[in-house]
Amino acid sequence: MEKLYRIEKDFLGEKKIEMNKYYGIQTLRAKENFDITKTDISLFPNFIKSLAKVKKACALTNFELGDLTDIQKDAIVQACNEIIDGKFHDQFIVDPIQGGAGTSTNMNANEVIANRALEILGHAKSSYDIIHPNNHINMSQSTNDVYPTAIKLTLYELIYRLKDSLRFLRDCFEEKSVEFKDVLKMGRTQLQDAVPMTLGQEFKTFAVMIDHDIFKLREAQAILKEVNLGATAIGTGINSKMEYRGKVISNLRDVTGVDYESAGDLIEATQDTGSFVHISGMLKSIAIKISKICNDLRLLSSGPRAGFNEINLPALQPGSSIMPGKVNPVIPEVVNQVAFEVIGSDMTIAMASEHGQLQLNVFEPLIAFKLFNSINMMRRAFHSLGEKCIKGITANEEVCMNNILNSVTLVTCLNPILGYEKSSALAKEALKTNKRVYDIILEQELFTKEELDELLRPENMVTNLSKDARWR
C-alpha cells in the first residue's frame, strides 16, 4: 500500500513525514543525522516516561499561569499520560547518542506530544497553529533543564530496580550462609592456606558486602532529588515567569509522587554534572565488588579434579566444543564482563563530565546512555547470578574438610594448646613427609582421635561462630 505523507517546515527547509507518524521534522532530521548506536531512545522506556512526566508538570504550570487554555492543557496532559502508560514509545526514534546536548530527544518528545494532543482534539497532525511543539509543549522550558531533569527522574526510578536485584542477590547468599553454617573449610590469604572458617561465613560475607551497597545506593538517590527545572537555557530562567520555578517543581512532585526540589543555584545546576559522576562511581564500586565475588566463586568451584572443588556451581550448558564433559562457570563469567563494561562506562562518564564547557555540558546524552545501560545490565546480571547460580550451589563438604586436615596451617589452631615450638615441629614434619598434620598428631599420640575430632568441630575452630548464628 502506498504511504501517505504530510509536509513539515522549519527554517532549514521542508521534509515529508509519514502521515501515521507522531514525530515531526526536527525528529526526522535527528534520525538522519545521528546513526550511532543503531538503536533509539525507546530502548529506555523509563526515560521516555520521565520526559512525559516533566512535560506534564510544565503544561500544568503554564495553565495555572494563564499561558495555556483549558483545552490545550487537557489535550497535552492526556497525551503525556498515554506516554507515561507506555503508549507511542515507538515514535521516539532518535539515537541516544547525539549532538546538541539532548535537543533532538527533547524535540522528539515535544513533537510526539503535540501531534497526539492535536489528534485528541480532532485536528490533523502538524496543525501547529493550534498546539505547537515549541510554543506550547516546550513553553517556559529549554532542553537544558528538561533533559537533565528527566535523566534524574529516570535514574531515581532505575536505582529502585537495581536495589531490588541486589536485595534478591543478598538474600540468595544469606540463604546459603545458613545452609553451609556447619561446613568447615580452609580460609586463604594471598591464595595460600590461612586458618579454618566455615563456608557459611564465606557466603555471609558476600551478603554483608552487598547490604552495604544497598544502603549506599539509598543515600545516592537523595542527590537526584535536586533538579534544575525552571532554569531554561543557562539557569537564568529566561522566557519563564517569576512564579514558574516554584509552581513547576510543585507540579513535578504531584506528577511523580517524589519530593523533588529546585536546585539552590540554577546556573550551577545547569552546567554541573557532578551528581551523575557520583552515581557512576557508586555503580563502579558495586560492579567491582560483585565481580570480586564472582572471581571467588570461580576459584572455589575450580576443577573439579585439579582445582579447589569446594563448591559446585549449577551446570547450565556444555563448556567446550572440543573437551567432552567440561562445564564452565558461565554466569559468574558474564557478570564479570558486565562489571568490566560498567567500569569502562565510569571512565567515559568522567571524561564527558570533565569536558563540559561554560554554562552547559553538551555530552549529557552520552552520560545518560552509559548510566541507563550500566544500571539495566547490572540489575539483569545480578538477578541471573542469584537465580541461575547462587541458589543452586552445593558444598563438597568432604573436600573442604580434607583441605583442613591436609593443611600445614592446622597447627595454627593447635598452637595455644601445643605451644609454638611443638607446632612448628609438626608443620616441618608434615612438609618433609607429605603427611597430614592430622595423622602425625595421632601417630605421636598428642591427642586421641576423639579429642582431635572435637577440636576440629566448627564451633571450636571458629571463635565467632555463635555470633554468626545470632546474625542469621
Which residues are catalytically annotated? 320
Q: Which residues contact 437 (CB under 8 A, 6 or more apart)?
A: 405, 406, 407, 408, 410, 411, 426, 427, 430
Angle (CA) 151 156 162, round 5°: 115
d(CA 456, CA 460): 6
Contact 227, 261 (CB under 8 A): yes
d(CA 191, CA 199): 16
d(CA 134, CA 462): 69
Contact 5, 18 (CB under 8 A): yes
Q: Which residues contact 92 (CB under 8 A, 6 or more apart)?
A: 23, 40, 41, 42, 48, 105, 108, 109, 112
CA atoms in the 13 A half-sphere facing the CB of 412? 14
